[in-house]
Amino acid sequence: MVNLIGTYECKVDAKGRLMVPAPLKKQLSPMLQDGFVLKRAVFQPCLELYPMERWDKMMSKINALNPFVKKNNDFIRVFTAGVKTVEVDTNGRLLIPKDLIAFAGIDKEIVLSSSAGIIEVWDKDKYEATLDATAGDFGSLAEDVMGNIDFDGLS
């Protein structure tokens, strides 16, 4: 699995196409042939772009849930709502379907942000507002999330 790196600002045209920035396209090049899955994020008003290999691993875990347990069934339905397969075309563009543009409130300017093996696709203003809202207590959040991890061996 590839660790994607970077945050990139770009624009979406009237048809919902974005030109994938060259440094990101280079990182994604081993995955271009397999395609991607674009879906609604769980916790934020943004989209998540999964390389197909990562999506397949995620779905193998989801498919292991018992669909006859109501909570599982409800989760599966909402998690997969609006899921679309997408590809980067020969011109380096990716088309964001209109229903997903509406969900994320994407206007013209967007941010592509790497996050744990996926790319988050944000409306630029929403991305900056989310960062601002979390920045004030980031030290406390970092301690809660990472404070008990043993970092021996890292330099």
Tell me the pLDDT band of 1, cut-offs 50, 70 and 90: low
**pTM for this entry:** 0.89
- For domain 7-146, the CATH class is alpha beta
Interval 44-64: pLDDT, tens? 999 999 999 999 999 999 999
Which is higher by pLDDT, 109 or 134?
109
Range 145-151 average pLDDT: 83
The one-letter code for the residue type at 143 is E
Q: Which of these ranges, 41-45, 98-102, 105-109, 132-136, has the smallest mean pLDDT?
A: 132-136
**By CB neighbour count within 10 A (0-12 exposed, 13-18 middle, 19+ buried), where does 119 fall?**
buried
pLDDT at 57 (0 to 100): 95
